[in-house]
Amino acid sequence: YASEDKVLRTNDAKNVDSNTWVDLESTPRYEKISVFSTTRGAYSNENSYLFIGGENGSVFRLKDPKNITTAASASKRISPPDTEGQYTSAIAIHPSNPDIVLVTYSNYNVKSIFLTTNATATTPTWTEVERNLNVHSIRSAAITVSNGQTRYFVGTARGLFSSTDPTTQDWVLEAPNTIGFALVSGLVYRPSDNKLLVGTHGNGMFETTVTGTLS
């Protein structure tokens, strides 16, 4: 749970009350938290991470979030370049590979989509991949895997877009006749059955099974 710049943790979510939260204290730089995302799969002290995005452009990586004692001492700042002062709007992690992470920023006229394939390295390398979405405000993100194919999704202020490789291919508008150009404020992916939930502002919520294009 994010409380301004603090991270709170409970190990008993079913019976949570005011006494079951552990205050892990503030993130480095005391930056207010805008979003966070965790790796998936069986938990491992060595290979499980919590990635935190801040309201001033920072991205922090916490290893072994289940057992850390303070967020500040356990965090490492791994922000993409030239993102100081931006609002981190989404962090998407590959369902089975914690090294693949997509980070988005919602401001206009800034570089707003970054991808890394070595997120757990000491100093990750980021690639700016906004391509043909350079005039869009990016609000949400998801990474899906279906039939061995990885697909990257971003929700923008003007619709849902996807790419199988944004480092080399432009983003394509999905479901133009269903979602249309609605602002896509939230994306949630469930790997067990490839369900993708799409939340919009003013046009409802949508569900799809990711197999190919959603059009």
The model's pLDDT over 145-161, given as tens digits with 9 standing for 90+, comes to 998 899 999 999 999 99
How confident is the model over 29-39, as a mean pLDDT?
94
* Helical spans, DSSP H, in 27-83: 71-74
pLDDT at 109: 86
Task: List, for residues 11-30, the tens digit of each pLDDT value.
Answer: 888 898 888 899 998 888 88
pLDDT at 28: 81
Average pLDDT over residues 119-127: 97
pLDDT at residue 213 tops 80: no
Distance, CA of 164 to CA of 29 (rounded, Å): 35
E strand or H helix that includes residue 8: strand 6-9
Percent residues over pLDDT 70 in the chain = 98
Instruction: Give Cα separations from 184 to 35, 98, 196, 215 (angstroms).
Output: 16, 25, 13, 16
Q: What is the pLDDT of residues 180-212, one digit of tens each?
A: 999 999 999 999 999 999 999 989 999 999 985
Q: What is the pLDDT of residue 11?
A: 86
- Cβ count near 4 (within 10 Å): 11
Q: Is the pLDDT of residue 128 over 60?
A: yes
Which residue type occupies 70? T
Residue 115 has pLDDT above 70, yes or no: yes
CB atoms within 10 A of CB 124: 19
* The pLDDT value given to residue 56: 95
Cα–Cα distances in angstroms (integers) from residue 190 to residues 77, 116, 136, 154, 212, in the given order: 28, 21, 26, 16, 16
pLDDT at 144: 97
Give 59's pLDDT tier (boundaries 50, 70, 90): very high
pLDDT for position 212? 56
* pLDDT digits 0-9 by tens, 69-100: 888 777 899 999 999 999 999 999 999 999 99
Residue 215 confidence (pLDDT) above 50: no
Distance CA 188, CA 167 (A): 23
